[in-house]
Amino acid sequence: MLQTLDNSTEHIVKPEPLSKAYFKDYFQLSKFRLSTTVVGTTLIAYFLGIYKIGISVDWMLVFGLTVGGMFVTAAANGFNQVYEKDEDKLMTRTQDRPVANGRMSVNDALVFSSVLGGLGLLMLAYFTNSACALLGLISIFTYTLCYTPMKKNTPLAVFVGAIPGALPPAIGWVAVTGHFDMIAWLLFVIQFFWQFPHFWAIAWILEDDYRKAGYTLLPNYAGRTKRNALQTVWYSMILIVISMYPIVLEFTSLYSLFVILPIGGYLLFRAFMLYKKMTIESARSLMFATLIYMPSVLLSYLFN
């Protein structure tokens, strides 16, 4: 059942409490599918740590890491939609989001996101350790209070946004070790550089929509240019080189190259094709290549 709001917002249809549409709006606010994807790299890193250190799986820890991580990610997504509600109204991709559309009040979204964020941090602290909870708090803080406000002001926002985006695999590793060691740093740096070809491919696809809201998220304000496409090539090369560094540290074996080199070569090829063709379709192909790259590389580190 749906009820129509009065006065100036009578065109907005607000779902009745506890209806299917009501819960769907909260799922949309939290970006549930994206949250599960983010937690995926956390879990891969956790099981990588379990395997490398040689200890048994703690399934209660896995539960807390999974649900707590999803709650933290969902909270950051909710805060982001509250802050950007006016900009979301201008973009085709986001204008139907519940806060931007008016189906959900700002207060309801803030309360929901705050509760999820608090629960997520508590779960990380209780089921894993305080270091994971601190990293979760840093993730929410940098995404909500640093990256989000910067998006309309400078393309450098992508570099700031890469910080919370790079934390999930580090959190997975820290859940095993209890502290942020060299491997946690390395996993962070690899995912940090992975985000540039990934996010710039998305920004290339959505450039026209982003411009409606005043966002410029490609490397510079020029938009879809050869110079910006070339940046995806350079950062893909950097990513591939850094991905091989665990071999130098003897964290993994040379067998990892049988995964890193072909998957890295494919990523680099797709980045070069974006530079050559400069089409939305080539950007989409690059985006899919990045989605394959990160889990494949993390799994390759299982080789001894």
pLDDT at 11: 60
Question: What mean pLDDT, rounded, does the chain reach?
Answer: 92
CA atoms of 166 and 139, how far apart (whole Å): 9
User: Is the CB of residue 17 less than 8 Å from the CB of residue 108?
Assistant: no
User: Is the CB of residue 87 less than 8 Å from the CB of residue 215?
Assistant: yes
Q: Which residues contact 205 (CB under 8 A, 6 or more apart)?
A: 280, 283, 284, 287
Which element (helix H / strand E) includes 14?
Answer: strand 13-15
Neighbouring C-beta atoms of residue 88, cutoff 10 Å: 21
Task: Read off the tokens for 203.
Answer: 């920004």
Closest CA to 157 of 95, 219, 250: 219
The per-residue pLDDT for range 124-142, each reduced to its tens digit, is 999 999 999 999 999 999 9
When the candidates are 1.10.287.110, 3.50.50.60, 1.10.357.140, 3.20.20.70, the CATH number that belongs to 20-180 is 1.10.357.140
* pTM of this structure: 0.91
Length of the chain: 304
Three-class DSSP category at 3: strand
pLDDT at 88: 92
CA atoms of 102 and 78, how far apart (whole Å): 14
Beta bridge partners of 174: none
The per-residue pLDDT for range 109-121, each reduced to its tens digit, is 999 999 999 999 9
pLDDT at 37: 83
Q: pLDDT band at residue 17, thresholds of 50, 70 and 90?
A: confident
Task: Read off the tokens for 13.
Answer: 């249809």
Domain boundaries, the chain: 20-180, 185-304
CA atoms of 121 and 93, how far apart (whole Å): 30
Sign of CA dihedral 219, 39, 177, 251: negative
User: Is the CB of residue 112 less than 8 Å from the CB of residue 74?
Assistant: no
CA atoms of 264 and 194, how far apart (whole Å): 11
